[in-house]
Amino acid sequence: MKAFLNTVLAIFWKDLLAERRTREILGTMLVFALTVILVFVFAFDLSVDMRSKAAPGVIWVTLCFAGTISLNRSMSLEKDREGFDGLLLAPVDRTAIYFGKALVNWVFMLITAVIVVPVYALFNNINLFSTGFASVILLGTLGYILTGTLLSALSLQLRTRDMLLPVLLFPVVIPLLLSVVRASTILLQGGIQGELSTWLLLLVGYDLLFAAVGLLVFDKIIEE
Amino acid sequence: MLKAINLTKSFGNRKVLRGFSITVEPGEIVTLIGVNGAGKTTLLRILSGITSAEIGQVQFNNIPSRDDPSFYRRQIGVVLHAPMLYGNLSARENLRFFSRLYQLPHPEERIDELLQMVNLRSRANDMVRVFSRGMQQRLSIARALLHDPACLLLDEPYTGLDQDSSSVFESLILRAVEDKKMVLLATHDLDKACRTSTRIDLLQQGRIAFTQPRFDVSPEELAETYREITGTQPVKHAAGDAG
């Protein structure tokens, strides 16, 4: 277990260090996410009630597309100079590579959320700060990244991987997106607590399912 | 002892390896020669565990690699055509990262020793993306030696190396063999094959078409045999291979 965690953290550290130098992934994600938010803010002249209603959709569309940038770039950097083959040669549990890559992508997506959500709240003069909404963002982004990391590894050997990832990813994350948008709406608009619990349970279940799938199949899908 | 038994591998309809078997004993340097596409790189990728064979198995000291992949990977050091490094990390950071994956007990000492060995000590803190092909190759060799593996798998290791680096690398290989390590090396360079190997195997269409202890064959005889079997002229200095 210690060796597994050591590998996860080594990959996380390596990607963070490279990102600190280039700001290639986070920079692109933030520029994209803030542009989308600003376009939404200035495109519609909405009432306060409508702004609040639109918030979950706008925020999750922004986060998902920004997350796809991270997933694509993070794996593409592994293909540069075939660094990924170097990882495969190491005497480590290969699922630790999956969790290491997922962890760094999740952190990038959370940093984007931490910036995007207050900006949206500020421009629309609505309150988006609650523990419940923060939990939905944590669980939703985690599920999205667990699925995306698995599928980006699957498309790693393909030349068309940048184009293929969204095609593979979006149909698979539909249940997750439904859950996060419905849960966010209930939290921001008020709604039946029982319904909220159902969506949150679905989110937790989705995350656990894809963590388990990654654990079981990552080793197989990265083998040529 | 490294042993590959009956390896078969296809890409689409094209069979690259056809029931290929090879054994490398401790203290041996086996050089694989052959035309592009003969299966040298595929064989080394299977032996390194990056690619799997459809049929057959790889053993280290009679233990199948699939039984304990971590143990197997710890025994091998690999240099392939691509350097397998990270451009946005420095030379030292790259080695530090891989030493964490290999869980080395005293990584900094080992990293210093290897950087000195491949003559990159003065460039240790430079980003790998600014390195020349030869410098990346030298760092790649240091990465392969990091965990002091019992067996070295080398695909065109001389690519991009200048004369001095080439000589340093040759002496590294010879020292490895003195330490009873196993070396399996793929190259197009018949002169180097004759100079350093203990055995030379010629691959043709996924099988060994010719095998000879080095001392029984001169570079001229080897070139002649190469021409007869492959129907092509051997090249003196490798420009890279993706076979």
The band of A224, judged by pLDDT with boundaries at 50, 70 and 90, is low
The tens digit of pLDDT for each residue in A21-64 reads 988 899 999 999 999 999 988 888 778 778 888 889 999 999 99
- Count: domains in chain B: 1
Residue B238 lies in a domain: no
Per the prediction, chain B carries an average pLDDT of 88
The band of B241, judged by pLDDT with boundaries at 50, 70 and 90, is very low
Inter-chain touch B48–A89, beta carbons under 8 Å: yes
The arithmetic mean of pLDDT across residues A93-97, rounded, is 94
Which CATH number is B77's domain given?
3.40.50.300
The arithmetic mean of pLDDT across residues A143-162, rounded, is 88
Query: Is the Cβ of B83 closer than 8 Å to some Cβ of chain A?
Result: yes
The tens digit of pLDDT for each residue in B158-217 reads 887 888 888 888 888 888 888 899 999 998 888 877 788 889 998 888 888 888 887 677
The percent of residues in chain A predicted with pLDDT above 70, rounded, is 100
So what's the pLDDT on residue A220? 87
Residue B243 lies in a domain: no
Inter-chain touch B84–A17, beta carbons under 8 Å: no
The tens digit of pLDDT for each residue in B136-153 reads 999 999 999 999 999 999
Residue B126 lies in a domain: yes
Residue B119 lies in a domain: yes
So what's the pLDDT on residue B242? 39
Strands across the sheet containing B55-60: B14-24, B2-11, B55-60, B63-64
Chain B residues 95-114 within an 8 A CB cutoff of chain A: 97-98, 100-103
Inter-chain touch B73–A91, beta carbons under 8 Å: yes
- pTM score, two decimals? 0.88
The arithmetic mean of pLDDT across residues A67-93, rounded, is 89
**Tally of CA atoms within 13 A in the half-sphere of B64 that contains its CB:** 6
Strands across the sheet containing B207-213: B76-79, B151-155, B182-186, B29-33, B199-204, B207-213
Residue B241 lies in a domain: no
Residue B168 lies in a domain: yes
Chain A residues 107-136 within an 8 A CB cutoff of chain B: none
Per the prediction, chain A carries an average pLDDT of 91
Q: How far apart are CA B195 and CA B197, in angstroms?
A: 6
Interface test with A, best of B17, B100, B129 (most A CBs within 10 A): B100
Q: Is the pLDDT of residue B154 over 90?
A: yes
The arithmetic mean of pLDDT across residues A161-174, rounded, is 90
Inter-chain touch B97–A14, beta carbons under 8 Å: yes
So what's the pLDDT on residue A99? 96
Q: Is the pLDDT of residue A177 over 70?
A: yes
Query: Is the Cβ of A53 closer than 8 Å to some Cβ of chain B?
Result: no
Closest A-chain CA to B44: A89
Residue B65 lies in a domain: yes
Inter-chain touch B89–A88, beta carbons under 8 Å: no
Q: Quick one: how many helices (H) and strands (E) in chain B?
A: 8, 10
Sequence-ordered strand ranges (E) for B38-142: 55-60, 63-64, 76-79
CA distance to partner chain B, nearest, from residue A7 (Å): 6
Chain B residues 39-58 within an 8 A CB cutoff of chain A: 45, 48-52
Q: Is the pLDDT of residue B57 over 90?
A: yes
Query: Is the Cβ of B127 closer than 8 Å to some Cβ of chain A?
Result: yes
Query: Is the Cβ of B153 closer than 8 Å to some Cβ of chain A?
Result: no
**Domain ranges, residue B34:** 2-230
Q: Is the pLDDT of residue A74 over 60?
A: yes
Which residues on chain B are in Cβ contact (under 8 Å) with A92? 70, 101
**Residue B9, phi then psi, degrees to nearest 5:** -150, 135
Inter-chain touch A86–B45, beta carbons under 8 Å: no
The band of B243, judged by pLDDT with boundaries at 50, 70 and 90, is very low
Q: Residue B4's closest CA among B216, B206, B147, B143?
A: B206
Q: Quick one: how many helices (H) and strands (E) in chain A?
A: 9, 0
So what's the pLDDT on residue B229? 85
Q: Is the pLDDT of residue B238 over 50?
A: no
Inter-chain touch B86–A14, beta carbons under 8 Å: yes
Q: Residue A97's closest CA among A219, A209, A207?
A: A219
**What ipTM was assigned to the predicted interfaces of this complex?**
0.88
Residue B236 lies in a domain: no
CA distance to partner chain B, nearest, from residue A123 (Å): 37
